[in-house]
Amino acid sequence: MLCTAYVLAGFLGRDPWKNADMASFGYMLALARGLTDWWHPLLGGLPTESDGLLGYWLGAWAIRASTFTSALGWQGLPRLPVDFAARIPFMVLLPATFWLSWQAVVQLASQPQAQPVAFAFGGEAHPKDYARTLADGALLALLACLGLAQLGHETTAYLCQLCSTAGLFYAASSLASESKAGWQRLGPLVGFQFALLALALSGAPSVALALGLLSAGVVALMRGHKGLSSATDDAAEISTTGVHSASPLRLALIMVLISLGVFAFSWGLGLFTWRLLNPFYAFQANGIVRLLVWFGWPAWPLALWSLWRWRHQLSHWRWPIHLALPLGFVGISLFSACTTQPADRALLLGLPALCALASFALPTLNRRLSALIDWFTLLFFALLALLIWFYWFAAVTGSPAAAAAAVARRTPGFTPHWVWHEFCLALLATLAYAWLLAWRIGRHRSALWKSLVLPAGGTVLAWVLFMTLWLPALNYALSYEPMVKQARQWMGLPTQSNQTQCVEQDGLTRAQIAAFQYYAPLRLVPVQGNPERSPPSDLVGASCGWRVTALSKVVDSPEWQNVGLLQRPTDRFDQLVLFRRKVP
């Protein structure tokens, strides 16, 4: 129920938001309409900002599929909005990330080094139940991470990267598992290859290479665990499978070759570009410490606690697999966050491994520390939910006046209104959290993951409240539709017109170009003579009657007449200027 509420909220009912979400949707729409090349997509003459192609392909395929089913006139299939159709594949990627992360922790927690000490007279937890319980804790920690909320619901290549990284994490955990031998590793090996390929096609080939080599190194550590390299085990493996497929070194070598092959493939496609920044500069520019504090909360304090409580096993040069693998994934994500931009997108890839580390802290938490987490979480999310409800009620009813005025200053021109179905969903989510709170403080047999129930439930509650009560205001504040609507009015375009108008653009961002082409029947082409932006071949030499420019590209020519200033109502810095060509 938590995962379902978390996934659906943020994908249903909203508009494409600025900036990355709108820009990605623009490329998907251009691909689906056949306006650009699939291997080198362009939007208004601009190439993609990231090299990830897989996300654009998924959205474009979904748009074409929805258009195809509508053209067939199948009964019972409503015509989907184009922006919602593009989000359908990403609605699958997020729960797939949850499932892959859960399975990865099951494999790691099943390692003998991760299992609890067996009691002298029995009664300890069953290994499978213990592993699944820790996986539940890791999933709750992932739901509770604040940085996942917005980035996990955007239709961008970064969600593809996150799902691919989770798949790679699961495949590496399965390959390093001591319970799998022989042909049982064939499936994880195939999954490892596909996860690496998907990660490279999503715009992170260098990260894919680093994670692939790291996974191979962790698998090679199996040589020192439980006699896997002994001659007796090797002979038994050969007699049962006919091949020496369980050799950790051979398996690690295959993984290295796969990683290098995927990297060479992405290099040949031109997907690899060197984007490393000076680490000290990135540290100052991105505020990586401040980002870490809130982005991975509450997983990173529990992960640090895990490393402290398992420090004796880390003191040996051959680290246990259940700590070495997630720690390596987190380390590569941190390095990418410090040396690339945007830092939060790079940090997103380390969340599944960070939550896996956090789950191993759960068996070591004492009652005092667990109570501290509960009380802090309860006070924080209860206050947050109260503020969300209070300001929404003030905005809708106008009382108290001070709170209503504060909302009006944030969203000038927006008229709050009561939406019954969104109000009912928000009320249901609030009552569900109250029931969860009552369950947590009740007297019953406590689960091992009890300390993460309130953080996960509180994060899901806050996200659902924002995506229901405040969704109309967020669409108004984060959408480009009001700006495009203003331009349509000044250009005299009818609301339902399907005739494409030619408009020159100079200095517009990718998100702004995508918004004009989606919300209005406009075809934006770069200003002729700009060597960096080549117009589409079908519009070369076209003489457009309108021009939209950034403030830095204002036209000072007798040929053009300044019509007015376009801007989003909630952002005075996001401004454009509309010009009309004078009739001679």
Contact 140, 456 (CB under 8 A): yes
Q: Provide the pLDDT for residue 403.
A: 92
pLDDT at 120: 47
Number of H helices, E strands in the chain: 25, 7
Long-range (24+ apart) CB contacts under 8 A made by 32-37 are 32/59, 32/60, 32/61, 32/63, 32/64, 32/67, 35/536
Residue in 357, 388, 506 with CA at minimum distance from that of residue 45: 506
Handedness of CA 175, 254, 355, 149 (dihedral sign): negative
Residues 6+ apart with CB under 8 A from 26: 43, 510, 511, 513, 514, 515, 517, 518
Cis peptide before 19 (omega within 30 of 0): yes
Query: Which pLDDT belongs to residue 545?
Result: 85
CA–CA separation, 460 vs 161, rounded Å? 22
- What interhelical angle do 82-109 and 157-175 show, nearest 10? 20
pLDDT at 329: 95
> Residue 574 has what pLDDT?
83
Return contacts of 177-181, CB within 8 angstroms, 24+ apart. 177/107, 177/110, 177/111, 178/111, 178/112, 178/222, 178/225, 178/226, 178/228, 179/110, 181/237, 181/246
Rounded to 5 degrees, what are φ and ψ at 465? -65, -40
Strand pairing of 501-506 and 546-550?
A: parallel
Distances (CA, A) of 523 to 250, 328, 383, 479, 519: 55, 47, 47, 19, 11
Pairing verdict, β 560-567 and 522-526:
unpaired
* Residue 249: CB atoms within 10 Å: 13
What is the rounded radius of gyration, in angstroms, for the C-alpha atoms of the chain?
A: 27
Q: Is the peptide bond before 298 cis (omega within 30 degrees of 0)?
A: yes
Strands (E), 189-303: none
Q: What does the alpha-carbon distance between residue 46 and residue 529 come to, in Å, rounded to a whole number?
A: 15
> Residue 116: what are its φ and ψ, rounded to 5°?
-70, 160
Pairing verdict, β 501-506 and 575-581? unpaired
Digitized pLDDT (tens) for each residue of the chain, 584 residues in all: 899 999 999 999 899 998 889 999 999 999 998 889 998 898 888 888 776 899 999 999 999 988 776 555 555 556 788 999 999 999 999 999 999 999 999 999 988 887 776 554 455 677 888 999 999 999 999 999 999 999 999 999 999 999 999 999 999 999 887 666 666 778 889 999 999 999 999 988 889 999 999 999 988 877 545 444 343 344 444 344 433 445 778 888 999 999 999 988 888 877 776 556 655 555 555 567 778 888 988 899 999 999 988 887 776 767 888 888 999 999 999 888 888 777 788 889 999 999 999 999 998 888 888 888 888 888 899 999 999 999 999 999 988 999 999 999 988 888 888 889 999 999 999 999 999 888 888 776 677 888 899 999 999 999 999 999 999 999 999 999 889 888 888 888 776 666 677 888 888 999 999 999 898 878 888 886 554 444 444 444 457 888 999 888 887 788 888 888 998 888 878 889 999 988 76
DSSP character string of 127-188? HHHHHHHHHHHHHHHHHH-TTHHHHTTS-SHHHHHHHHHHHHHHHHHHHT-TT--GGGGHHH
Measured CA to CA, the distance from residue 396 to residue 416 in angstroms comes to 5
Residues 453, 517: Cα–Cα separation, whole Å: 44
For position 286, what pLDDT does the model report? 52
Q: What gap in Å lies between CA 2 and CA 8, rounded to an integer?
A: 10
Cα three-residue angle 417-418-420, rounded to 5 degrees: 150
Alpha helices in 273-400 (DSSP H): 279-286, 288-295, 299-309, 311-314, 321-339, 343-348, 351-359, 367-397
Cβ atoms of 52 and 160 within 8 Å: the answer is yes
Residue 295 in tokens:
């982005």
Could you tell me if 167 and 191 are in contact, meaning their C-beta atoms sit under 8 angstroms apart?
A: yes
d(CA 372, CA 556): 64
Whether residue 85 contacts residue 63, with contact meaning beta carbons closer than 8 Å, is answered with: yes
Burial class (CB in 10 A: 0-12, 13-18, 19+), 231: exposed
